[in-house]
Structure 1
Amino acid sequence: MLMLRSIAFQVLFYVNFAIWLSFALVLTSLLSEKMNWRIVNGWCRMSLWLLRHVAGTRSVVTGLEHVPTRPSIIASKHQSFWDIIALVPHLDRPTFILKQELMRIPVFGRYARKLGMIPIDRAKRGGAIASMLENATIAAGQGRQIVIFPEGTRCRPGAAPDYRQGIYRLYETLAMPVVPVALNSGLYWPRKDVRRWPGTIRADFLEPIPAGLSRVDFFPHLRGSIEKRSDELLAEAYRTDGMEPLEEAGREKLREILGRPAG
């Protein structure tokens, strides 16, 4: 039953995506930016509706009082595609920093450019950071929220964190507060796995980190807040839904959080 519901969700998710994207591309030049974002938010909410009613997976986002109305940086843990569709409806015209490869996807890449997403060509290394900072400065000047995944890619639940320097360069250049986001989506929407597990995915916007901290102070603050809360959400998923990471390293981390002996 789990596999059947998961496959049904996947099929409906991509059909829904194609319908909304086709509709958006036909009308994008005729609609205002506000209306284009309504289309995006509608697609996200419909996707979450399908996830709940087809796969049996609920979505809960808390800490919304910490999301500033002014331009800011949103630094989120990244474990699955859920992180995008669940966070977007709670943000104001967010500009995502994403890998260049996504912009090459037919139709999607074109619409992503239309909405002001910032691609990163990781092969360019230092040049990629300079381009990111330039485009992010423009987006911030337009009053947009900048969303970045500090580890640069999706990570598995319970995996050792690997925070990159790009987040600090962004924080230093834009001189704006950073709102950390913790989550446990990878348990229910695993990477490279068709299964979508029933239960409740949770994300939590945390207390903003004020602008102006040094690199030495910033990284422990950011990493500490995201990892501590993500560990709590990992443990909560186990207690409420019986969810465990698929990899042994993640399960070992869970045992450590729960205070249980290894093995």
Structure 2
Amino acid sequence: MLVLRSLLFNLAFYVNIVLWMILALPTLLMPRPALLWIVKNWARVNIVLMRHIAGITCEIRGRENLPPGPVLVAAKHQSTWDIFAMFLVCEDPCYVLKRELMWLPVFGWLAAKAQMIAVNRGARSRAMKQMKADGERELARGRQIVIFPEGTRRAPGAEPAYKYGVVYLYSEFDVPCVPVALNSGHFWPRRRFIRQPGRLVMEILPAIPAGQDKTAFFERLVSDIESASDRLLAEARGPLGAEQTRIA
């Protein structure tokens, strides 16, 4: 039954992507809020499919910790779920993503229309400056800059691998940083077919005020996200799996 439910969900998920991308094409000629409406509704349908087909319910805790208006959101990244879920958390999210994604047909066009921040990872210092300029522009519009500090999906419980980019943005932007923890990788693991039923949780943690020392900020960010993600992973695994939360 688990294999069948996972198969049906995966099929429904990708069909849903195709349908909403087709619906989104006309928004290339419309104001950006039209595309934002499409993406938010695509995310809502995904949540419904997860609940009714895969048996995964989603809970978002700590919404009160996300202040309105411009802010930097630093989120743990374990699953595809994390990407679309942020559209249900943030009013107008602006993702920091790798430039290569902008070259994809349709997706790249829509990402450009959504005015996401594309980063050329090979350019280093020049990429940082461009990321800062693009981020300041979008913050001035009242958007939320969303970054996955580890740069890619990590397995639940894996040793953290945070990169400098989040520290650079925090030091350059005069806005709070909101850490986000989750346990999505337990239910929707990277490069695996099976979707594990249960309660998936994202927890929005208390914001780190702007202007803190870089080292102090980085240490608190990693500590807050990792300790909360470990707790959520133990919660997902239940009493028998709690002691295996951190893997070597």
Does the 8 Å CA contact 1:48/1:85 hold for their aligned counterparts? no
Counterpart of 2:128? Answer: 129
Mapping for residues 110-259 of structure 1, pairs under 5 Å: 110-239=109-238, 251=244, 253=246
Are positions 1:45 and 2:38 aligned together? no
Structure 2 gaps of 5+ residues are none
Counterpart of 1:24? Answer: 24
How far apart are 1:243 and its partner, in Å?
A: 6.6
Q: Give CA-to-partner distance per residue, 1:44-67, whole Å, 9 cap, x none.
A: 000111111111111111100011
Tell me the SS of whatever aligns to 2:211: coil
C-alpha separation between the residues in 1 aligned to 2:246 and 2:71?
32
Identity %: 42
Does the 8 Å CA contact 1:59/1:86 hold for their aligned counterparts? no
Q: Which runs of 4+ in 1 moved over 2 A?
A: 32-36
How far apart are 1:252 and its partner, in Å?
A: 6.3
C-alpha separation between the residues in 1 aligned to 2:97 and 2:27?
24
User: Structure 1 pair 128/197, CA: closer, same or farther in 2 (3 Å)?
Assistant: same
Paired residue type of 2:151: G
RMSD of the alignment, in Å?
1.8
Tell me the SS of whatever aligns to 1:75: strand
C-alpha separation between the residues in 2 aligned to 1:92 and 1:186?
24
Paired residue type of 1:20: W
Aligned residues: 248
Tell me the SS of whatever aligns to 2:246: helix
C-alpha separation between the residues in 2 aligned to 1:139 and 1:98?
14
How far apart are 1:26 and its partner, in Å?
A: 2.1
Counterpart of 2:6? Answer: 6
TM-score of the pair, normalised by structure 1: 0.90
Does the 8 Å CA contact 2:78/2:155 hold for their aligned counterparts? yes
Tell me the SS of whatever aligns to 1:143: coil
Structure 1 gaps of 5+ residues are 245-249, 257-263
